Amino acid sequence: MPRISAALPSVPLVLFVLIGLVPAGAEAQQTVSDPTPPATTGWMEDSPFRPLELPAANRLRTGSGAPGPDYWQQKVDYRMTASVDTAGSLLTGTSTITYHNRSPELLPYLWLKLDANLCDPAGTAAKLNQPPLMFGDAVFDFSCAGGAGMTVSRVESRGRALRTTDAGTRMRVELPEPLRPGQTIEIETAWSWPMPDYGYGRMGRDGTLYQVAQWYPRVAVFDDLSGWNIDPFLGAGEFYQEFGDFDVELTVPAGYVVTATGSLVNDREVLTAEQRERLGRADSSEEAVAVITREEALAARERPVDGTKTWKFSAKDVRDFAFAMAPDFRWDASDWNGIRIQTFYRPEAVSWEEANRMSWVSIKHFSERLAMYPWPHATTVEGPNEGMEYPMLTFVPGYADREALYWVLTHEFGHEWYPMLVGSNERLHPWMDEGFNTFINIGSVEEYFAGGDYGEWISKQPLEEWAAHAVSGKEQPMALPPTQQHDLYWAAYFKPALMMHLLRTEVLGPEVFDRALAEYTEAWSFKHPGPADFFRAMEDAAGARLDWFWRGWIETAARLDHSIETVWPGDPENPPWVHIRSRGDMIMPVELHFEFVDGSRETARLPVEMWNLGPDFVYRLPGGKQLETARLDPREVYPDDDRTNDAWPSGP
């Protein structure tokens, strides 16, 4: 529930009641006849500046928001073989999981995540049988549309079967003996999964095109913040994953082309000499080179090939592995800074002829601002999925509209930084990946569509979404987990984007903010930051205490309502002043625009310290001039709940 008391303790009850009875703002914007500024009262125990209750800093996570000298993180490597039988969309696989216990704890068991079991007709999600989540204008269907779960037929170590306990999308595996700190264990698994055509908005199939993810038993994250992270997969909230290395062999019908997380290591076996020559050219070309042309893709569709082919991929320091395959892919490739930029799409998706350029600009844009893209390729695949991200590989629909295509394409690539590189916990804190990502997407759109309407408008979108979504009394704190959010579109995407945008432009300034965000990104690359680490990292790098900011934006659903209360316009003896109040429970810096009787104008930008003493502030202007008008938030950048009390004399 939103707090409503913070800004109101100084208001007598009778006035509080009156405010409710008369038109909004009618008590404010009065011109006073007494030049003495009003006495103001202070915060009591509810000061918005009081420190947040954060986990204590320690040698793992320091007070400066950096990984400490004792920071540890588990490492999980996978060697896998899998085959896809396209006749029944059946995936069968085996894996050797190498689990490195780098924690200081003894581990008697570990947890596997079987996200595919969201599709199990007997699972929690099926029992709850919830309708799709409305997601802005879009419908987010987390169901499996008649899919089935994953059958794990083997879990063993050194030839000995391990005892397992099935818990829906999770499986507890008893180790032969407790795994000591510093020890490593190899676990063998085998499984099969009839892949659904529609996989809870994260993967799926369209005819012969497959986008495959969450397809193998994955070890859950064990960390110092919550031990085993075993929150079930219910559809909302994505995938918190350990980093590790992957060697994967995928056996598919011989006519298929496969792309995946990781580098293709047996290109001589699966590509033609001509394709390899074209890839070689692409590796020194900023312009897209067609590795498979439109004509070749169309011809391949008409020419069934018997047998199978095995594609081998290898990836280092990634938190997941996904792949896509189709017999009729077009394949474009280019290079930016040694990174192979690849786009795979079907001949019908003509808008995708521009997608390689879009990808190139996106990877460059984010690399130059956050941290260098760390993997050998960045690949996006057109297909049925509404948009989904995996390391080095993203899925994006075949939109005809350039703006829609760029927005989703750059969004999914933005996820390569949050959370593929900065591995925060998506199951609990989607604002740290979806939100940061939506924020950085704004700059990417501004660059790609510079000078055009879309590029000019995009930074205004979060505030427009606020007007539509942030309904007072219904808005939930963005700190709540995604499974408890009624409006994930707002709480996980656009509210955090608005938060980051205002932190950048109005609170810290672009230069300070950009450096702080890049330093946070660098410090937590390939690691697992929590919210407190982000708060501390930003505060330290920016040189600002921001408890008030995180409280208002993340921990509560606070409302912002700055108002002009009373104004002394000034006379020859007494300089003018303006009494401003924070009537909501969110505070922000204030911008005031003044016009004077002599025709001159002035703008004042007041830092948030104006609210140090209480919810009232008297801004004192120099003498010798008489005020004619005053206006709060003249650029209309803030989500101010009541604009009728923002101007003096009153009026819209």
Which residue, 123 or 235, is less far from Zn ion as judged by CB? Answer: 235
Amino acid type, 139: V
**Least Å from the CB of residue 478 to Zn ion:** 15
Phi, psi (degrees; rounded to nearest 5) at 303: -125, 85
- How far apart (Å, rounded) are the C-alpha atoms in residues 94 and 536? 42
Query: Between 387 and 426, how does the x/- string for binding to Zn ion read (CB under 5 A)?
Result: ----------------------------------------
Which residue, 219 or 497, is less far from Zn ion as judged by CB? Answer: 497
Which residue, 434 or 475, is less far from Zn ion as judged by CB? Answer: 434
Q: Residues 8-15: contacts with CB within 8 Å, 24+ apart? A: 8/583, 8/615, 9/41, 9/43, 9/44, 9/46, 9/615, 10/40, 10/41, 10/614, 10/615, 10/616
Which residue, 224 or 382, is less far from Zn ion as judged by CB? Answer: 382
Which residue, 434 or 465, is less far from Zn ion as judged by CB? Answer: 434
Which residue's beta carbon is nearest to the bound Zn ion? 434
**Least Å from the CB of residue 246 to Zn ion:** 22
Nearest residue to 189 via CA among 250, 112, 100? 112
**Least Å from the CB of residue 389 to Zn ion:** 6
Which residue, 74 or 437, is less far from Zn ion as judged by CB? Answer: 437
**Least Å from the CB of residue 437 to Zn ion:** 6
Cβ–Cβ < 8 Å for 405, 399? yes
**Least Å from the CB of residue 318 to Zn ion:** 17
- How far apart (Å, rounded) are the C-alpha atoms in residues 256 and 292? 12
Residue 496 CB-density burial (10 A; 0-12 exposed, 13-18 middle, 19+ buried): buried
Which helix H or strand E contains 613, and what residues bound it? Answer: none
Q: Site for Zn ion (CB under 5 A): how many residues?
A: 1
Which residue, 431 or 550, is less far from Zn ion as judged by CB? Answer: 431
Phi, psi (degrees; rounded to nearest 5) at 140: -105, 105
Cis, peptide link before residue 419, omega less than 30° from 0: yes
Which residue, 379 or 566, is less far from Zn ion as judged by CB? Answer: 379
**Least Å from the CB of residue 415 to Zn ion:** 6
Which residue, 170 or 415, is less far from Zn ion as judged by CB? Answer: 415
Residue 31 CB-density burial (10 A; 0-12 exposed, 13-18 middle, 19+ buried): exposed
**Residue written as tokens 């050194």?**
158
Which residue, 441 or 645, is less far from Zn ion as judged by CB? Answer: 441
- How far apart (Å, rounded) are the C-alpha atoms in residues 547 and 544? 9
**Least Å from the CB of residue 201 to Zn ion:** 11
Task: Please report, as residue ranges, which positions from 424 to 443 form the binding site for Zn ion (by CB under 5 A).
Answer: 434
For the residues of 276-288, what is the DSSP string, one character each? Answer: HHHHHHHTT-SS-
C-alpha of 96 from chain center: 31
Which residue, 434 or 446, is less far from Zn ion as judged by CB? Answer: 434
**Least Å from the CB of residue 200 to Zn ion:** 14
Task: Please report, as residue ranges, which positions from 271 to 290 form the binding site for Zn ion (by CB under 5 A).
Answer: none
Nearest residue to 163 via CA among 174, 178, 171, 154? 174
Which residue, 434 or 561, is less far from Zn ion as judged by CB? Answer: 434
**Least Å from the CB of residue 300 to Zn ion:** 32
Which helix H or strand E contains 300, and what residues bound it? Answer: helix 294-301
**Residue written as tokens 């909230």?**
237
Quick one: tokens of 164? 């397992």
Measured CA to CA in angstroms, residue 366 lies from 207, 369, 426 at distances of: 34, 5, 20
**Least Å from the CB of residue 414 to Zn ion:** 8
Nearest residue to 187 via CA among 165, 210, 218, 209? 218
**Least Å from the CB of residue 309 to Zn ion:** 32
**Least Å from the CB of residue 488 to Zn ion:** 11
- How far apart (Å, rounded) are the C-alpha atoms in residues 239 and 423? 10
Cβ–Cβ < 8 Å for 87, 189? no
Which residues are near Zn ion by CB under 5 A?
A: 434
